[in-house]
Structure 1
Amino acid sequence: MHKAPWLTILGLGEDGLDGLSPASRQVLDRAEIIMGPPRHLSLIPETGAKRVEWPVPFADGLPILTKLRGRPTVVLASGDPFWFGAGSVIARSFDAGEWVSIPGQSTFSLAAARLGWPLETTLTFGLHAAPLTRLRPHLSSGLRTILLLRNGQAVAELATYLTETGFADTTLHVMEALGGPRERARSMSLTQALLETFEHPVCVGLDVAGDGRALPKVAGKPDDIFETDGQITKRPIRALTLSALAPRRGEHLWDIGGGTGSISIEWLMCDPTLTATSIEPLEDRASRIRRNADSLGQDRLDVVHGTAPGALNGLTLPDVVFVGGGLSTELLDWLRANLRTGTRLVANAVTLESEALLAAWHGKLGGDLLRIELAQAGALGPRRGWKSAYPVVQWSVTL
């Protein structure tokens, strides 16, 4: 016999019950337990149900909710629980038949309606639990984006960050408590935002303007956006390497011998569903990879300080592997023995010894072997000439 879901994830607006459908009100009336943050609980009247405050940090509430399994329970969330909301985190903790969601009107929809912006061309970000640097790959003059922020103080932090990145002419459209009796919307400069105070919940529409540097959307980002000690896969080689790695939605990368982290960082920039682990034996370089990832909005990069293949034990198995450093017979033997069939492998070699190693493995396993030779124009006395870089041999294979 099919059991009805015991858990309802209910999207609630700032207007409380006024914004709920009759069906949603009935769900609240029938609930034995209503769980949510204090602000959400304050928006609904007493129904006789037991009220449970969702704790901070958010993850601490999941064990509490699990103990309520089987009792009619409503969890209150903001707007649409599955658009930068709590819905997805809760849903993956329970079986599909245990829960149902009733979404409310999202903050993004309300903000777009106030601003007159088409949502299909407006970027949306949930930065209430993420760093502002998530914006960095997207910042360019003319960008329009709507952001959810964690509190009122974050508006000033946003204004400071935009100033520091060169987009000081940006206009902020600050909207507080959208859809409720406390709603307030104001447009202002970054300087004005530093002088004002704002109340939670708050979202901001950005009309980005200024002469700040916009990052290219294609693979092969400029070398100088990365902090480096000189050891970096240069831009043209990086572009060819990303092409060989061929990232696909939802895939996980191992970047072995991470160096500056440029390969794994650009991998992550290709799509928000991609994940990556960078493995680097030198501690100072591992720290540098972490700084590069954070500053370029790829804070989800996992950095492992260790030497492959030993450091690979226990890591989530990859879909794709790039070997940019530490190439050896021992490493290739380990990868062949431990990785799943279908894993894609790309390795770059510069020295004669590592080139010979790739040639030998190409003979054993096949794949594509590519020799990349590049030269750049430079001064040659009073004239110009070609200055050749070391050739790179690249092996690509599917195990």
Structure 2
Amino acid sequence: MTIDRDASLLGRTPGLPEEHFAHDGLITKHPVRAVALAGLRPMPGELLWDLGTGAGSIAVDWCRADPTCRAIGVEQRADRAANARTNAANLTLPGQFEVREGPVAELVEDLPSPDAIFIGGGLTAEIAERCLGVLPPGGRLVVHAVTMEADVVIAALHADHGGELFRLGVETADRIGRLRGWKPARTITCWNWTKPPA
């Protein structure tokens, strides 16, 4: 793990390598995170909801984009919430990234209004519709999914609301005996949506 609260060591560009985070192996990988942050477009003073935050890597990269950006991560699992808190303490300024522990569907009711939302885990149609409703005009929603069940939800959201729908595949070099080859990661289905003007 790395300590770099003010981004003076690792810079502000999104997509910090995974070795800088406390995580259990389930973390949004840095190339995918960079694509997510491009859709979220953090701007000074804005607040992100990172739902299903896991290790908090999306929220960390959001906060590092500008010292006035803030994030609230929601995570149901206590061990992952603990990792997210460690990453917040090590990689963001004090007070920038808050982690709330519990079911997303319950906790979103009491969160302050966001400027952008990332859903990386626990996607349901109900949570997505709640997020669409709470965003202000110009607010951004980015949803990533790796399961077929979440793909169905994303396909319906895209059909109903438009936005940008694409799949992202990443392959990394790996050993095949004494040679090398490409090892694919799970393909990510991505939906980016910006709320139109009122």
Q: TM-score under structure 2 normalisation?
A: 0.91
| Count, aligned residues | 192
Q: CA deviation at 1:359?
A: 1.4
Q: Name which of 70, 73, 77 aligns with 1:275.
A: 70
2:180 corresponds to 1:398: no
In structure 1, how many angstroms separate the alpha carbons of the residues matched to 2:4 and 2:92?
Answer: 4
Q: Name which of 69, 77, 85 aligns with 1:290.
A: 85
In structure 2, how many angstroms separate the alpha carbons of the residues matched to 1:239 and 1:334?
Answer: 25
Q: CA deviation at 1:135?
A: 5.2
RMSD: 1.6
Letter of the 2:45 partner, please give it: G
Give CA deviations for 1:58-82 in whole Å, capped at 9, x if unaligned: xxxxxxxxxxxxxxxxxxxxxxxxx
Letter of the 2:7 partner, please give it: P
Q: CA deviation at 1:136?
A: 5.1
Structure 1 counterpart SS, 2:7: helix
Q: Which residue of 2 aligns with 1:364?
A: 160
Q: Which residue of 2 aligns with 1:224?
A: 19
Structure 1 counterpart SS, 2:104: coil
Is contact 2:171–2:184 with CA below 8 Å preserved after alignment?
Answer: yes
Q: Which residue of 1 aligns with 2:56?
A: 261
Q: Which residue of 2 aligns with 1:386?
A: 182
In structure 2, how many angstroms separate the alpha carbons of the residues matched to 1:356 and 1:298?
Answer: 37
Matches within 5 A, 1:321-360: 321-360=117-156
In structure 2, how many angstroms separate the alpha carbons of the residues matched to 1:297 and 1:336?
Answer: 27
Residues 340/234 of structure 1: CA separation in 2 closer, same or farther (3 Å cut): same
In structure 2, how many angstroms separate the alpha carbons of the residues matched to 1:349 and 1:325?
Answer: 7
Q: CA deviation at 1:381?
A: 2.0
Q: Which residue of 2 aligns with 1:234?
A: 29
Identity %: 39
In structure 1, how many angstroms separate the alpha carbons of the residues matched to 2:118 and 2:5?
Answer: 27
In structure 2, how many angstroms separate the alpha carbons of the residues matched to 1:336 and 1:378?
Answer: 40
Is contact 1:375–1:386 with CA below 8 Å preserved after alignment?
Answer: yes
In structure 2, how many angstroms separate the alpha carbons of the residues matched to 1:271 and 1:251?
Answer: 9
In structure 2, how many angstroms separate the alpha carbons of the residues matched to 1:394 and 1:260?
Answer: 19
Q: CA deviation at 1:283?
A: 1.5
Q: TM-score under structure 1 normalisation?
A: 0.46
2:189 corresponds to 1:319: no
2:3 corresponds to 1:137: no
Structure 1 residue runs without a partner (length 5+) = 1-132, 139-213
Letter of the 2:144 partner, please give it: N
Structure 2 counterpart SS, 1:342: coil
Is contact 1:328–1:354 with CA below 8 Å preserved after alignment?
Answer: yes
Is contact 1:265–1:298 with CA below 8 Å preserved after alignment?
Answer: no
Is contact 2:39–2:140 with CA below 8 Å preserved after alignment?
Answer: no
In structure 2, how many angstroms separate the alpha carbons of the residues matched to 1:321 and 1:329?
Answer: 15
Q: Which residue of 2 aligns with 1:5?
A: none
Q: CA deviation at 1:333?
A: 2.3
Is contact 1:276–1:302 with CA below 8 Å preserved after alignment?
Answer: yes
Higher relative contact order at CA 8 Å, sep ≥6: structure 1 or structure 2?
2
Q: CA deviation at 1:309?
A: 2.0
In structure 2, how many angstroms separate the alpha carbons of the residues matched to 1:270 and 1:302?
Answer: 16
Q: CA deviation at 1:259?
A: 0.3
Structure 2 residue runs without a partner (length 5+) = none
Residues 297/335 of structure 1: CA separation in 2 closer, same or farther (3 Å cut): closer
